[in-house]
Structure 1
Amino acid sequence: MQRHREPLDAHLLRILQILLTEQSVSRAAIKLGLSQPALSNSLRRLRDITGDPILVRGKTGMVATERGLELLAHANDALAAIDRIKQPTGVFSPATTLREFHLGAPDYLDAMFLPNIAEILRREAPHAKLIVHPINADFDYVAALESGALDVVIGNWLEPPPHMHMSRLFDDEVVCMIGSQNPLATRGLTLKRYLEIPHLAPFPYVSRRQSFIDGHLATQGLRRNIQMTIPYFGQVAGMLLRTDLVFTTGRQFAQHYARYLPITILPSPVDFPPMRFYLLWHQRSHSASEVVWLRRCVSRVATMLQASLTG
């Protein structure tokens, strides 16, 4: 019959961590403020619990076993988790956090929105990590929010997905974007011309749903002539400069490229509603202080960009 092993508590975990970090019973005893016999007794208990020597004698002192090195990584993770559990709700220090934030966004926002978020994090949370996940039709961002793989998602939908916390970020006017070499740059667009000319369009980033543009056209009984479809918004400007295609998008995106390239922005002949961007998050992180802080950062950027459009 297997012998019952005593439980491993936080005190023993801390001793395990210091022993493996110092690789010396005497140094670990000093660091922990314990007597050497007391620490030797704790080491015997840890060996019994783990079934491993943990530390063995080497040529120049004690060395960790292979299992001991593995246990050190587990101890670090467990103690960090315990510290987070003990931390009162609402206590969060951006300046010292080592948090890894996960944000989902379509690459539509790469040019103007995400760099501003990155700037805030580097300035206010310099030790934090930010991982931006591309949102496309193959990525189940709702499940990722539910599991915690994502903290927040930024996007625009004709109808936002249900069962999520949501805040409105900003509205963007829908315009048409063409290369300045395109004859339409001087002729302009009528509704008839808009529906007949060849269009460039992105893949929808929500599976089995129409894009914001095509969803609205469908409600009006209209359909445009999509001649080419691309997976990345970063490809748009290059395609427009070499073709007669038109791209329907938000003014923010179009203005960014028109500042640097021979791109012409035309009013849309279709009465589109504003392209509305939302921030989504799940109930599981609704009160998490670090995610609340991230949401506030995103909202600050949205307010700043909205002011630049209307100012």
Structure 2
Amino acid sequence: MSDPALFDKIDLHLIRVLNTVLTERSVSRAAIRLGMYQPAVSAALKRLRELAGDPLLVRSGAGMVPTDAGLRMIEPSASILRAAAVLFSDARGFEPATATHSFSLAASDYLDPLFLPRLVAQIKNQAPLCHINIHALSGESDYRTRLAQGEIDLVVGNWPAPPDDLHMARLFGDEVVCLVAEDHPAVRRGWDRATWLAAEHIAPTPTHPGAKGVIDEQLDGLGLQRNITARCPHFGLIPAMVADSLLVLTTGRQYCERYVGVLPVKILPCPVEFPQMMYYQLWHERTHASASAKWLRERVKAVAASLQK
């Protein structure tokens, strides 16, 4: 910065307010996320506008949007905050018992339904002062960008082939099976490939735009298409939907086994042969050497391993 006087007017707190206001696109939401009163955020935004000589955030219809100058500030401000976090925390190492770090991870609920509860419990048991933010992997979630910008530290899910621009560690593989209601005709009659394809299937909403999901991508490769008549973004609700209908859920055995005996459902073999479903954790280069992020990845690995026993 060429103006030392201007530099002296900027502190890390202002940078944090700047980044939060621009990414939330709302003073009130930014105040909640920052744990501040709304007038204090408004006052900080006023200072930022004066320093920038730009409105930074302007009204558009019922909401607000960043100006061009504001948009250009999002990534640099995020970069400054990431550097500060490394400078004052990871530089000293990570001590779980006393750390006050905030972890953010995006996870698919296609995993074992016990995974997230056990992960949160382990983190809170070992690092009681740390905060945990769980984000859903949804069709609107651009997890690559969110990892790069520091909005999330880690992504856990399943992909036929994980993205090669991210770091990756395998968690486990699982056999593909079908979950159906106890009184589904296939329980009595069995099924072949044709009757399975023609059955009414329920599938999760894709995790990112354009994605078909693991099962349907593999069916495409075989020149096959199943009859999907229902989709749901909340994977944890699907087994209950299956229990009261003729819908078929095709996914990993470990996930399905958690519901047998809890709901009136049965597991059937899938008549189409699929490779194992592979589950991974993915992270960006920016957190690869981070002591706190390494600790989080070890917790994810340990919980995944415990669920295989």
Same fold (TM over 0.5): yes
In structure 1, what is the equivalent of residue 158 of structure 2? 156
Structure 1 residues 139 and 3, CA, compared in 2 at 3 Å: closer, same or farther?
closer
The answer (yes or no) to whether the contact 1:90–1:288 under 8 Å persists in 2 is no
Structure 2 counterpart of 1:164, one-letter code:
L
- 1:189 alignment partner in structure 2: 191
1:262-296 CA-to-partner distances (Å, cap 9, x unmatched) read 11000111110000011100000100100000000
Contact 2:90 2:290 in 1 (8 A): no
More displaced 10-residue stretch of structure 1: 287-296 or 120-129 = 120-129
Q: Which residue of 1 aligns with 2:255?
A: 253
Correspondent of 1:169 among 168, 171, 184: 171
- Superposition deviation, residue 192 in structure 1: 1.5
Q: Deviations over 1:202-252 (max 9, x none)?
A: 111121021100000111111111111112112212211221111101111
Identity of aligned residues (%): 38
Q: Which runs of 5+ in 1 are unaligned?
A: 14-65, 72-77
Q: Secondary structure at the match of 1:279?
A: strand
From 225, 228, 247, the counterpart of 1:226? 228
Q: Distance in 2 between matches of 1:285 and 1:3?
A: 31
Correspondence for 2:306 among 290, 304, 307: 304
Deviations 1:59-83 (A, max 9, x none): xxxxxxx99xx89xxxxxx9xx868
- Supply the distance in 2 between the matched residues of 1:6 and 1:248 (Cα, whole angstroms): 57
Q: CA deviation at 1:89?
A: 3.6
Kept after mapping to 1: 8 A contact 2:110/2:157: no
Query: For the structure 1 residues 198 and 300, does the alpha-carbon distance in structure 2 shift closer, same or farther, using more than 3 Å as the test?
Result: same
Residue 159 of structure 1, CA deviation: 1.9
Q: TM-score, normalised by structure 1?
A: 0.72
Aligned twin of 1:62: none
2:109 to 104, 107, 110: 107
Paired with 2:303 and 2:153, the residues of 1 have a C-alpha distance of: 17
CA contact under 8 A between 1:189 and 1:266: conserved in structure 2?
Answer: no
User: What does residue 62 of structure 2 align with?
Assistant: none
1:202 equivalent in structure 2: 204
Matched position secondary structure for 1:102? strand
- How far is 1:184 from its partner? 1.5
Q: Per the alignment, do residues 181 and 209 of structure 1 end up closer, same or farther by CA in structure 2, a change over 3 Å counting? A: same
Q: For residues 35-59 of structure 1, give each alpha carbon's deviation from its aligned partner in whole angstroms, at most 9, with x where no partner exists.
A: xxxxxxxxxxxxxxxxxxxxxxxxx
- Provide structure 2 residue ranges, at least 5 long, that are not aligned to the other structure: 13-38, 45-79
User: Quick one: distance in 2 between partners of 1:145 and 1:260?
Assistant: 36
Which of residues 248, 270, 273 in structure 2 aligns to 1:271?
Answer: 273
Distance 1:285 1:90 in 2: 15
Task: Specify whether residues 204 and 197 from structure 1 end up closer, same or farther in structure 2 by C-alpha distance, changes over 3 A only.
Answer: same
Q: RMSD over aligned Cα, in angstroms?
A: 3.0
Q: How many positions carry a matched residue from both structures?
A: 245
Highest Rg: 1 or 2? 1
Matched residue type, 1:176:
C
